[in-house]
């Protein structure tokens, strides 16, 4: 079958998709977007988290056909997504998702694929690096998407809020302490910037 949807602001078309293929497979193997990770493919680890019309979902559990005509944001598009959000007015009240309009107004920009240098990073991406929240990094894309969505909803999350929001994302390397640090850091920087 053919699936038409928007990924990181770009209209995409996937052909010859098998009936059983997941959104994760289509992103990774057909769109060339391997940023979303395949750690369990059973909805348990959160490594494959993307936003579907603004809502964080495990892309391994979403059938490719379900995304027809919808908007997907992956870790590859996170920086631009955050930039657009900042430019078009973030969410100060703590209770707004991403409107379709917002999602449509931006698209991913390429960066130097060797070192990643020159990439503009979203605040949460920068905070993960600065806080030492990245070790092997396999959990990182999913955590970033989930944490970014948390900060969009709740600019000043308590530790309990952070734990609750990230409880669907497994990390085997860090012990989570530095991930908490990173989310607190991003929130604090966000507050400073306001």
State the minimum distance, in angstroms, from the CB of residue 178 to ligand FES.
9
State the minimum distance, in angstroms, from the CB of residue 53 to ligand FES.
18
Q: Which residue, among 99, 18, 33, has the nearest Cα to 64 in the 3D structure? A: 18
Contact 68, 77 (CB under 8 A): no
Which tokens in the block code for residue 191? 């507050």
73 touches which of other proteins, ligand FES, none (CB within 5 to 8 A by kind)?
A: none
85 touches which of other proteins, ligand FES, none (CB within 5 to 8 A by kind)?
A: none
Strands 71-73 and 3-7: parallel
Region 138-167 residues binding ligand FES, contact defined as CB under 6 A: 138-139
Question: Which of 119, 137, 154, 189 lies at the binding interface for ligand FES (CB under 6 A)?
Answer: 137
How far, in Å, CA of 135 to CA of 139, rounded? 9
Contact 107, 8 (CB under 8 A): yes
Residue 14 or 78 with smaller CB distance to other proteins? 78
Which tokens in the block code for residue 104? 């449509």
The interface mask with other proteins, positions 35-64, x = CB under 8 A, is xxxxxxxx-xx-x-----------------
For residue 173, state whether it binds ligand FES (rule: CB under 6 A): yes
Q: What is the DSSP letter of 64?
A: G
Region 72-91 residues binding other proteins, contact defined as CB under 8 A: 74-76, 78-79
Question: Which of 12, 66, 135, 154 lies at the binding interface for other proteins (CB under 8 A)?
Answer: 135
Contact 86, 102 (CB under 8 A): no
For residue 182, state whether it binds ligand FES (rule: CB under 6 A): no
Contact 94, 154 (CB under 8 A): yes
How far, in Å, CA of 192 to CA of 21, rounded? 43
Region 31-60 residues binding ligand FES, contact defined as CB under 6 A: 38-41, 43-48, 58, 60
The residues that touch ligand FES, with contacts defined as CB under 6 A, are 38-41, 43-48, 58, 60, 135-139, 171-174
């Amino acid at each position: 079958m053919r699936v038409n949807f928007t990924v990181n602001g770009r209209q995409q078309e996937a052909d010859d998709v098998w009936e059983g293929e997941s959104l994760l497979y289509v992103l990774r193997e057909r769109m060339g977007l391997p940023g979303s990770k395949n750690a369990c493919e059973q909805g348990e680890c959160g490594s494959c988290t993307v936003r579907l019309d603004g809502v964080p979902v495990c892309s391994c559990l979403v059938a490719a056909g379900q995304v027809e005509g919808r908007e997907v944001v992956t870790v590859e598009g996170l920086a631009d997504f955050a930039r657009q959000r900042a430019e078009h007015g973030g969410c100060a009240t703590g209770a707004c998702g991403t409107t379709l309009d917002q999602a449509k107004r931006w698209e991913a920009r390429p960066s130097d694929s060797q070192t990643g240098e020159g990439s503009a990073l979203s605040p949460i991406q920068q905070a993960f690096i600065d806080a030492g929240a990245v070790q092997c990094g396999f959990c990182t894309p999913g955590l970033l998407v989930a944490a970014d969505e948390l900060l969009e909803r709740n600019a000043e999350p308590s530790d309990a809020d952070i734990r609750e929001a990230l409880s669907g994302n497994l990390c085997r390397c860090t012990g989570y302490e530095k991930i908490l640090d990173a989310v607190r850091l991003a929130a604090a920087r966000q507050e400073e910037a306001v």
